[in-house]
């Protein structure tokens, strides 16, 4: 199977994870915690690249319990694209659950960092 065929199949079969984002046309900031196989598989790098591709700012870091926390700031449609891309990028990444909450926008933030 060619890579692009495999990727299309993976995107079609990606689990629909429940994440509630505000219905807004303005920039929002979300604190998002990813649970599953998200450490040691290139997940933070994947989040960072997807965020930069979709003009989302913020940061991502590993937690001691094996989860990964990110703060993402941008338009809701772009944050959704980042989350979608992280689910379909690698066969080694497995997101079982996502928790999120709205937090205040940081007007001075200009990039996406990895810790």
> Is 100 in the active site?
no
Catalytic residue among 27, 33, 62, 84: 62
28-114 CATH fold: Alpha-Beta Plaits (3.30.70)
Catalytic residue among 2, 13, 33, 44: 44
pTM of the predicted protein model: 0.78
> Is 84 in the active site?
no
Let me know: does 20 contact 76? Beta carbons within 8 Å. Answer: no
Q: What is the domain partition of the chain in residue ranges?
A: 28-114
Q: b/e string for 85-106 if b means 16 or more Cβ within 10 A?
A: bbbbbeeebebeebebeeeeee
10-residue averages of pLDDT along the chain (115 residues): 49 53 80 93 93 96 96 93 84 88 93 94
CA–CA dist 47, 112 (Å, integer):
9
CA–CA dist 31, 60 (Å, integer):
10
CA–CA dist 65, 56 (Å, integer):
26
- At residue 1, the pLDDT reads 46
- At residue 70, the pLDDT reads 96
């Amino acid at each position: 199977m060619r890579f692009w065929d495999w990727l299309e199949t993976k995107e079609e079969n990606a689990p629909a994870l429940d994440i509630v984002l505000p219905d807004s046309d303005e920039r929002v900031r979300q604190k998002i915690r990813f649970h599953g196989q998200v450490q040691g598989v290139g997940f933070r790098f994947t989040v960072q690249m997807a965020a930069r591709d979709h003009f989302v700012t913020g940061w991502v870091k590993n937690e001691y319990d094996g989860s990964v926390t990110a703060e993402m700031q941008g338009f809701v449609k772009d944050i959704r694209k980042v989350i979608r891309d992280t689910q379909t990028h690698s066969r080694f990444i497995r997101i079982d659950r996502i928790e999120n909450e709205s937090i205040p926008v940081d007007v001075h933030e200009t990039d996406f960092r990895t810790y």
